[in-house]
């Protein structure tokens, strides 16, 4: 469908560029942890929008809105995650440490994505419920960020001052 191609490619690309710049400015001003927290909330919101879209069917304005929010989420989370990983690396071993951390960072996504089809089958094709569950799955990571916030904030600030 030409609408899908237009919104998911062209509009999403523009949103990604704009929000990558905005999220970079946000992370510089408010810190990596706040950036990660906003990214987590945005991911949950994006998944809830996919849930609504799956429930109501192809509504053009809702699809466009969902693509825009998803583009924002992707851009924001990528910038915050790269900033976070970079803050953990020692300058002497940056390339090696970053490569290792980035690989570990994709492990969960790779592992869970491969079994998501089985979950949808188990849910008997209930895509709205599937997307709601993925939104709820964000909560533990937000709680961990809150619990470790001061420790991680101190560590990332120390690494940035080196």
Q: 6-37: per-residue pLDDT in tens?
A: 666 777 788 888 999 999 999 999 999 999 99
How far is it, in rounded angstroms, from Cα 45 to Cα 156? 27
119-149 residues labelled b (16+ CB within 10 A) or e (exposed): eeeeeeebebbbbbebbeebeebbeebeeee
Alpha-carbon gap, residue 47 to 135, rounded angstroms: 5
The 10s digit of each residue's pLDDT in 132-155 is 999 999 999 999 999 888 777 665
Distance CA 31, CA 145 (A): 13
Its pTM surpasses 0.85: no
pLDDT at 154 (0 to 100) = 64
In the CATH hierarchy, which top-level class contains the domain 2-161? mainly alpha
Residue 98 near residue 64 (C-beta atoms within 8 A): no
């Amino acid at each position: 469908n030409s609408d899908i191609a237009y919104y998911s490619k062209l509009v999403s690309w523009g949103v990604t560029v704009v929000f990558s710049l905005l999220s970079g400015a946000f992370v510089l001003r408010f810190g990596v942890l706040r950036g990660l927290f906003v990214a987590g909330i945005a991911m949950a919101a994006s998944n809830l929008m996919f849930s609504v879209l799956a429930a109501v069917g192809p509504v053009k304005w809702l699809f466009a809105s969902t693509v825009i929010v998803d583009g924002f989420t992707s851009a924001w989370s990528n910038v915050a995650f790269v900033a976070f990983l970079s803050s953990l690396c020692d300058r002497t071993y940056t390339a090696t440490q970053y490569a290792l951390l980035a690989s570990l960072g994709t492990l969960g996504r790779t592992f869970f994505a491969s079994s998501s089809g089985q979950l949808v089958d188990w849910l008997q094709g209930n895509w709205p419920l599937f997307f709601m569950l993925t939104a709820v799955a964000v909560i533990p990571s937000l709680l961990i960020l809150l619990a470790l916030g001061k420790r991680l904030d101190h560590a990332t600030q120390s690494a940035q001052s080196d």
